[in-house]
Chain A
Amino acid sequence: MTTVAVDRPPGSNLLLRAHKVTKAFGGLVAVKEVDLEIPRGSIISLIGPNGAGKTTFFNVIAGILDPTSGAVEFDGQQVVARPVRAWLEPITWVVPAVIVGVLGVLAYQASAVAGALIVLLAILSLIVMLLAAIVRPAWYRRFLLRVGVFKSARPNEMVRAGIGRTFQNIRLFANMTALENVQVGMHLKMTANAADALLSTRRARAEEKESVTRALNFLELVGLKGRGSFMAKNLPYGDQRRLEVARALASEPALVLLDEPTAGMNPKETREMTELISRLRHDLGLSFLLIEHDMKVVMGISDRITVLDHGERIAEGTPEEVRRNPRVIEAYLGKPPE
C-alpha cells in the first residue's frame, strides 16, 4: 500500500478526502481509483446508473469494506486504507508473553514460586493482548500505529471519528421504539458503563434522563414529534427514513452519509426530506454525502456531484456542469445512434 502524502495547507477546509479508492471483489473491480473531496459544510452527491459502484464506495468510506488500494482521510487523519504490516500484529500479541515467560523460566531456577507466578503473568499478558486485539480499545490502536501497523477503522470507530450514516434499505432497530432508536444513536455521547448501570448512580440516572430529552429534540428536528413511543417497524415508510436520519444525527457527526434518502418516497415526502437536509446543513453546519437517484433532489441541493459508471469516476462538478456533460448523458441514456 502506498501511504498517501498529505499535501494540503494547514487549516484546510477539507473534511473528507478519498484518494484513488479501488475495491475489487475477486476479478470484479467494483470501484476503480475514485477520488472524492468533501469540503466542510457542503452537500456532495454521488450518482450513477445501477451497479456503478456507488454503494461499494460508500461502504469503503463507512469502514465496512477495506479498500483494495487507495485511502480515505477524515479530518486530516487517514481512517481507511489497505492494511499495512498486518502480519506484525499477531507477533505483538505473543512477544510480551514470550519475554515474561523466559524471565519466568530464569526465575524458576532461583525460586519455584516466583517462577510459577511470572509464568502465570505471561499467560495473563497473552490473554490481555488477545482480548485487546478483539475489543480494540483506543490505547491498543495507538500502540499499533506506533509499531507501524495500520488497520482501517471499524464502523463504530468511524462514528467516533464523526461520520454518521443511513442505509439504502432501511435498517432500523425494528422492535425498539423510535425514541430508543435515537438513544442508541447517542451511544457514544453517553458515558455510563455497566458498573454505573448496576449501581444506578446519580450520574447514570441524570444522563439517562437527559438522553431522553435530547432524543426527543432529535425526533422533533426531523419532524417526528410525538412519535417517540412508536415501535420503529410500525412507523410509515417516510417516517422510518426520517428516523434513520435522526439516529445518524444523534451521534453528532460532522459528516452524514445518506444512501438514497428519498428512495420510495412520494413527492411530498421527498420535498420534506430535501428541505430537512438543507436545513440541517444550514443550522448545524453538517456536511452530507448523498447517493441519490432522484435527479430533482440531486440537482436541487448538491454543491457538487460526482458521477460513477462501471466503478470509474466519469464526471465531477457543479450540477450545471454535470447536467451538460456528454459522458454523463451517455452513461444514463446510451450512445446516440451514429
Chain B
Amino acid sequence: MTAVSNPRVQSPWARLRSGARNHRSITILLGWVLVASVLPVLVLIPPLSTFQPQSLWIDGFSNAGVFILLAMGLNVVVGLAGLLDLGYAAFFAIGSYVYAFGDSPFTNVQIPFWPMLLVGAIIAATLGLLLGAPTLRLRGDYLAIVTLGFGEIVPAVFLNASSLTKGTNGIGGIYKPELFGFKFTLENPVPYYITMVAILAVTMVLLYRLQGSRLGRAWMAVREDELAAASSGINTITTKLLAFALGASTAGLAGVFATSKLTFVGPGQFGFQVSFTVLAMVVLGGMGNIWGVATGAFVIYTIQAVVLKELNQFFQALHVPILQSIDFVQYQYLLYGIALVAMMLLRPEGLFPSSRRRQELHATSDDVADVPPPTEALDA
C-alpha cells in the first residue's frame, strides 16, 4: 500500500485507518466507549424517544448485550471453526445456573458477582470440552443433530433435578451485583449497561486476538479442510475442542450476567428458540466477522424487542385495515423465517460479512481474475 510506504502524503483518514489497524485492541475499546455513549443520547431523539423512555431503552440495550455476547461466542464455533452447533443455549443455561447456585439465598452461598463471571465462564468451558468430546468424529448434519440433543438435554436436566434446581419453579431471589458497596438495582439500568459494555469490549478484543493468532488460523484451516489441516500438523481434535470451550465460556459469561440482572433462572428460558435465535443472529450478521455478528445480534434483538411492538401501535394509530388487527409480536418467528429465507436468497453472506466470506459466496468461475487488492503487509 502506497500510503504506508510514504507516510507524508497520507490523508488524515488513511492515517486513522492505519493507526486503527496497528492498535486494534485500543480501537475496539474506544469504539465501544463511543457506541456506548452515543446510544443513550440517540434514543432521546424524537422517533425513538416516543417508543419508550430512555431508562427502558438502556435496560433493553443490556439485554441485547447478552445476545451479542452469545452471538460472538457462537461465531467462534460456527463461523471460525465451522462446527454447526444447534444446542448453544445449553452453555447459556449452565452459566445461568452456576450463578444461581453461587450467589443466591437458595443455596445459601454468596460469592460476589465479579468472580462468578470468571467461575461461570470456566465451568461452561469445562462442560463445553466434555460435551464437545463425543462429537469430534462427526461433522455437518450429524454434528448438528448431536448438539441439538445436548441443547435439549441440559435444560431437561435442570428441569428434572428438582431437588437441586426447584424444577419448573426455577430459582428466584438471586443476588444482584455489587461494586465497592454500590448496589445494582432494578430501578437504575445504567450500572448494568456499563458492565455489559465493558464485558463486550473485553470479549471482543480477546476474540479478535484469537482470530488473528495461530489458533485462529487453525480453526479456519479445520473449517476449510480437516484432512489437509491434519496433514499440516494441526491437531484437529484439540483445535475443535478449544473452539467448543471458548464458545461455551462466552455463553457462560452471558448466562451469569443475564441471571444477575433477571434475579431469576428457570429451565424454560433455554429452549431451542434461544439456540436458534443466536444462530440466526450469527448467520444474518455475517458469519466469521466478529463485529458483523455483534451488529447483527443487536439489530435483530432490537427488532424483536422494540420494533415489532411499535409496528403494532403504528398501524393501529393509522387505522390501516388488515394490518392493525395483526399482532406482530406474535408473528415474531414467522417474520424471522421470512427474513432468513430472504437473506439466504439475496445476501447469503449476511449483513456485514467478512471479506473472505463475501468472496466465497459470490465468486463464480469467471471471477478468477477478480482478486482482492493485495494488503500492505504482503507487498512491502
Contacts and interface: CB of A to CB of B under 8 A. Distances in A.
A53 to B, nearest CB: 19
From A130, A175, A176, A183, residue with most partner B Cβ within 10 Å: A175
B216 A176 contact: no
Contacts of B12: none
Instruction: Please tell me the size bucket of the interface on A.
Output: 35 or more
A165 B215 CA distance: 21
Contacts of A231: 356, 359, 371-372
Interface stretch (A186-194, A308-316, A324-332): A186-194
A190 B217 CA distance: 12
B187 interface: no
Contacts of A67: none
Contacts of A131: 129, 133
Given A171-B227, A172-B228, A200 B214 contact: no
A184 B374 contact: no
A165 B231 CA distance: 7
Interface string B350-371: 0000001101100100011011
A174 B372 contact: no
B379 A204 contact: no
B224 A173 contact: yes
Contacts of A198: 206, 209-210
A212 interface: yes
Interface residues of B, number: 50
B232 A247 contact: yes
Contacts of A134: 133, 136, 237, 241
Given A160-B233, A251-B233, A180 B360 contact: no
Nearest to B218: A187
Contacts of A179: 378
Given A156-B236, A184-B218, A167 B210 contact: no
A184 B225 CA distance: 12
Given A154-B230, A156-B236, A200-B25, A173 B225 contact: yes
A158 B25 CA distance: 37
B213 A204 contact: yes
B224 A174 contact: yes
Contacts of B232: 156, 159, 184-185, 187, 247-248, 250-251
A155 interface: yes
Given A134-B136, A194-B210, A228 B378 contact: yes
Contacts of B230: 154-156
Interface in B304-354: none
Contact of B231 (A159, A175, A176, A216): A159
B217 A180 contact: yes
Given A155-B227, A160-B233, A197 B217 contact: no
A184 B220 CA distance: 9
B194 interface: no
Among A130, A194, A236, the most chain B Cβ lie within 10 Å of the Cβ of A194
A41 B311 CA distance: 74
B233 A197 contact: no
A193 B216 CA distance: 10
Contacts of B357: 175
B177 to A, nearest CB: 24
Interface string A111-125: 000000000000000
A200 B202 CA distance: 13
A212 B25 contact: no
Given A167-B228, A228-B378, A173 B220 contact: yes
B118 interface: no
Interface string A205-231: 001100110001000000000101111
B238 interface: yes
A62 interface: yes
A173 B219 CA distance: 11
Interface in A148-173: 154-156, 158-160, 164-165, 167, 171-173
Contacts of A14: none
B2 to A, nearest CB: 15
A196 interface: yes
Contacts of B290: none
A194 B234 CA distance: 14
B229 interface: yes
A234 interface: yes
B234 A187 contact: yes
B45 interface: no
Contacts of A136: 235, 237
Contacts of A233: 363
Interface in B222-253: 224-225, 227-238, 241-242, 246
B221 interface: yes
17 contacts: A134-B133, A134-B136, A135-B241, A154-B230, A155-B231, A156-B231, A173-B221, A174-B360, A176-B224, A184-B217, A185-B232, A185-B233, A187-B217, A197-B210, A198-B210, A229-B373, A230-B372
* Across the A-B interface, the 8 shortest Cβ-Cβ residue pairs: A197-B213, A159-B233, A173-B224, A188-B233, A229-B374, A228-B378, A171-B228, A155-B230
